[in-house]
Amino acid sequence: MLKQSARALRAVMVFFVCATATLPSQSHAQAADEETYIDEIIVTSRYRAEKLSDVPDSITAFTAADVERHRIERINRVASLTPNLRFSDDQEVGVSTLVIRGVSQNRGTGQPPVSFSIDGVSATNNLLTTQELFDIESVDVLRGPQGALYGRNAIGGAILISTKRPTSEPEYGFRLSAAEGSDYTISGSASGPIASENILYRASFRLQDREGQLRNAYLDNQLVDYKKSAAFRGRLLFTPVEKLSVDLRAQVLDQEGGSGYFMPGSEGYLPLPPPNPPIFFGNPTYEIQANRIGESFVDAGEFSAKIDYDFGFATLSSITSYTDVDSGNDQDLDQTLVEAIDIIVIDKSETLAQEFRLVSRSDTAFRWAAGIQYFTQDRFRSLATTFLGFPVPPAAQDLKLDNLAAFGNFSYDIRDDLELTLAFRYDEETPEDTTQGKSDTFTEMQPKASLAYNFREGLLGYVTVGKGFRAGGFNNVAPGSSFMPGFDEESLVSYETGLKGTAFGGRLRGGVSLFLIDYTDQQYFLFDQTGTQANINIPKSEITGGEFEISAFPTDSLQLDFGLGFTDSEIREYEDIPGVLVPASEIVGKKVPGAPVWSLNLAAQHTLSLGDDLRLVSRIDYEHRDKTYWTLDNVDVQEAYDLANLSFSLEKERWSTRLFVNNLFDEEYIEWFFAARFIGLPADIAWPSQPRQAGLEFSFRY
């Protein structure tokens, strides 16, 4: 099956090569004379400004205009537009599951599969990946191991977010949105100089109040997906001399909302000692019916300082960050009508990170970046359950985590059309569980090599081999749980080949990539009825797949976007693990769960001039998600489904108003699923999708 899948993706790649290679090449003079209909995207994924088409990585990039037109306000919207990236909300306001190329999220005190950073500062707690995105300049999604440049947990890739910088001229913006579910959002920003052009500021905020649309029919039809959030960000850019800049950033985040409104996916039952038969609850399935309305919150404060000094031959950067996160969750865990299992979660962490980085000039044949990073975190997490009204001793964990790393990235132009890149990262990570009195140290060298060849101006081919790593750690184990107290590190070797380019004076931009992942000790998240949240290891698995993306302007007023993602996989080795209730014989040979086998996204955007600088912009987005396997034994499956979004905007230079409809056809599907036979709960539980939502938005800027 893997070979057949690789052949299918190879056929797509051959088609792209033939199509672009036969396009007429252009001289620099000719290209300069022609109008470019798709703006050249500039990325800084290698710490220097480069054309997207010149970087030998599989990247989906969103500019400020893309963020606006796509209404990107959280990572879930980015995922719907990015091949082989899946993001699911599935328990509370701070919890999500992110899967990239089949590499999945580790929840609880586990770590995400990507390096998630905002303005160069990594999100040091997995609860921060659900935060609202506002006043955003760009979003770049890099697929494949990125540890050499983007730090710990970049085993599957990196999500790089840049907020808008302070401006030298006064600038103000305001946005108001109202949608179904009494969903109201207000956001705004202000920017400009303070006293002189050497000190610039930017301040922005976003407030949301949503009553929700999903109801618990068994608790007086109360709304369960309510949410209130407030986020404030401030940036101060100080340039006392030409070669020195100081970028100070602070952000405060406050979220609270519904929690635990899973639906039981099977009839619940309570097992009794033999020979007594189990007691069945008689609950309906796939209806929200928890016997309490769950509550959750996330409060976070982030502070960072980035100092850059230009020595001429290279720029030295110091990045210091401090993050404080406090969260909680109170919910019905069994999700049935019966008062069976309740849970209260407390999660607090403090993190300090420091990076020193030296980056060479960009106008030489040999370009390089090197540095060191230090990361330390203190985290307390407690999960207390109540079983049939009786309290159970909590699963509590005090965890201290230290990471020290060195990294480097070196690129050399062997010829004008041939670039060799070598990179590495060396990690030494030490988790210490003071509750269990255990500690361990995980070390790993993560090399990466890439060879990129310019077939012609605007057409780049590349091959890459890289290693990714995610450290092991200690599970948050409650008394009575069968899970092991710790889990091992995981690593993978990724082989990738790709082709990307532009044509027709910028009217066409596209890329195709194929990858093969050889996975060792893949980490996988599970939990049980005691409140234990655990990660286990799958000794050997293999993932193959690819991405294909095209953006085009067939006419001056029409833009078309197409994205295709594919992953196929196989669990090659697996042994029976304490706490996992399904035998190894039912898991070996199955697919790695969590990612759709196929995903496809299409978009069409038309701009109609109405005169006097007034435009009507119409946009429709379509997304197809193929079959998704939820469990290691592949028994539980989300069948394929389709989503569509529609919007109409009236736009002028300083204002715009937009009517939008999300989930146009009110498609119902499962966001995430946990099977009772793996976690020991009375019933399977499934997280519901959001229904159709229509809204109106107005923005003003000057």
pLDDT tens figures, 650-687: 999 899 999 999 999 999 999 999 999 888 889 999 99
pLDDT top residue among 192 and 436: 192
Average pLDDT over residues 514-519: 97
Q: For residues 308 and 317, is the Cβ–Cβ distance under 8 A?
A: yes
Question: Tell me, what's the pLDDT at 50?
Answer: 84
* pLDDT tens digit sequence for 117-174: 888 888 777 788 888 999 999 999 999 999 888 878 899 999 999 999 999 999 999 9
- The encoded tokens of residue 13 equal 């790649």
Give the whole-number percent of the chain exceeding pLDDT 90.
Answer: 72
Question: Tell me, what's the pLDDT at 109?
Answer: 66
CB atoms within 10 A of CB 642: 12
Cα–Cα distance measured from residue 110 to residue 85, given in angstroms and rounded to the nearest whole number = 19
- The encoded tokens of residue 193 equal 């100089």
Average pLDDT over residues 89-114: 84
Cα–Cα distance measured from residue 116 to residue 490, given in angstroms and rounded to the nearest whole number = 19
Cα 112 vs. chain centroid, distance in angstroms? 8
Question: Tell me, what's the pLDDT at 2?
Answer: 44
Beta strands in 471-557 (DSSP E): 473-474, 486-487, 490-503, 508-527, 533-555
Query: Burial code of 434-467, b = ≥16 C-beta within 10 A, e = fewer?
Result: ebbeeebebebebbbebbbbbeebbbbbbebbbb
Closest to 61 in 3D by CA, of 620, 554, 563 = 563
Question: Tell me, what's the pLDDT at 244?
Answer: 97
Cα angle 201, 140, 624; round to 5: 130
pLDDT top residue among 239 and 43: 239
Average pLDDT over residues 439-462: 95
Q: For residues 350 and 324, is the Cβ–Cβ distance under 8 A?
A: yes
The answer to pTM > 0.75 is yes
Closest to 401 in 3D by CA, of 374, 366, 421 = 374
- When computed from its CA atoms, the radius of gyration of the chain, rounded to whole angstroms, is 25
Question: Tell me, what's the pLDDT at 38?
Answer: 60
Q: For residues 193 and 168, is the Cβ–Cβ distance under 8 A?
A: yes
- The encoded tokens of residue 79 equal 């995922």
- How many CA atoms are closer than 13 Å to the CA of 1, on its beta-carbon side? 12
Mean pLDDT of the chain: 90
* pLDDT above 70 for 355: yes
Instruction: Read off the DSSP letter of residue 640.
Output: P
Cα angle 570, 575, 577; round to 5: 120
Question: Tell me, what's the pLDDT at 289?
Answer: 94
Beta strands in 361-434 (DSSP E): 366-387, 390-391, 395-415, 418-433
- The encoded tokens of residue 401 equal 């985590």
* pLDDT tens digit sequence for 524-573: 998 888 878 889 999 999 999 999 999 999 998 999 999 999 999 999 99
Which secondary structure element, helix H or strand E, spans residue 147, and what is its range? helix 147-150
Please identify, in words, the CATH class of the domain defined by 2-209+225-701. mainly beta
Question: Tell me, what's the pLDDT at 496?
Answer: 97
Q: Write down the domain spans for the chain.
A: 2-209+225-701
Q: For residues 502 and 38, is the Cβ–Cβ distance under 8 A?
A: yes
Q: For residues 476 and 395, is the Cβ–Cβ distance under 8 A?
A: yes
* pLDDT above 80 for 9: no
Cα–Cα distance measured from residue 516 to residue 464, given in angstroms and rounded to the nearest whole number = 11
608: exposed, middle or buried (Cβ count in 10 Å: 0-12, 13-18, 19+)? exposed
Question: Tell me, what's the pLDDT at 576?
Answer: 93
* pLDDT above 50 for 66: yes
Task: Enumerate the β-bridge partners of residue 629.
Answer: 637
